[in-house]
A and B are shown apart, each in its own frame.
Chain A
């Protein structure tokens, strides 16, 4: 079975500090894409960052970066210089590239609170 595990249901961080959200996944596929999505209290799901499994270089997007460890099946998200607007639920997800099925496999999410 393909699963995503986010072991931290809730986290908090002080404004301007750095926080890391963990994600592990299980799949027998060798090629896939990994995503972090953010869902603020308004509930619009927004893409934060994506990583192709065949790329060894970790993806970065401004203050957001990932630590992708393919052998360990780990895909953590680091948020630097945290801002109040980063307060949201963060979901880790992946899509295997094989086959026609394009559905995202989701974790249960981590609720992040950025405190002033």
Chain B
């Protein structure tokens, strides 16, 4: 079946612009995660959804970052008034349910955001 997809794959924004990044998880997957990966670094957790409920948003760096998953499927990560330090690859991952083998997270290709 289809894997996790993300769009756009690349986004260039001018400082101060708002951006919206989309994630389509694997069909039927309950859990959805957003990570931020700076160049040469490991992923950093941003936020986590179980169905439409946002259970953890402790990793969102500021109130300019907002994520939603209104119908428990597709998710959007929105960044308002982008800053240069927001430049990174944004990874989305999904997993079937919590617990056991279902805890394995499957990743999308990422969206590379460059803020000029």
Binding site for B on A (CB under 8 A): 33, 35, 37, 42-47, 50, 91, 95, 97, 100-104, 106-109
Contacts and interface: CB of A to CB of B under 8 A. Distances in A.
Interface centre among A95, A101, A104 (most CB of B within 10 A): A104
A10 to B, nearest CB: 11
Nearest to A95: B103
A102 B43 contact: no
Given A47-B104, A104-B45, 10 more contacts: A43-B89, A50-B104, A91-B42, A102-B31, A102-B50, A102-B95, A102-B98, A103-B48, A103-B56, A109-B41
Nearest to A33: B103
Contacts of A102: 31, 33, 48, 50, 95, 98, 103
Interface of B: 31, 33, 35, 41-45, 48, 50, 55-56, 59, 89, 91, 93, 95, 98-99, 101, 103-110, 112
B27 to A, nearest CB: 18
A86 B59 CA distance: 31
A109 B104 contact: no
B63 to A, nearest CB: 20
B103 A47 contact: no
Contacts of A91: 42-43
Given A33-B103, A35-B104, A106-B42, A101 B48 contact: yes
B42 A46 contact: no
Contacts of A104: 33, 35, 43, 45, 105
Given A91-B42, A102-B95, A103-B56, A43 B109 contact: yes
Nearest to B107: A45
A50 B45 CA distance: 19
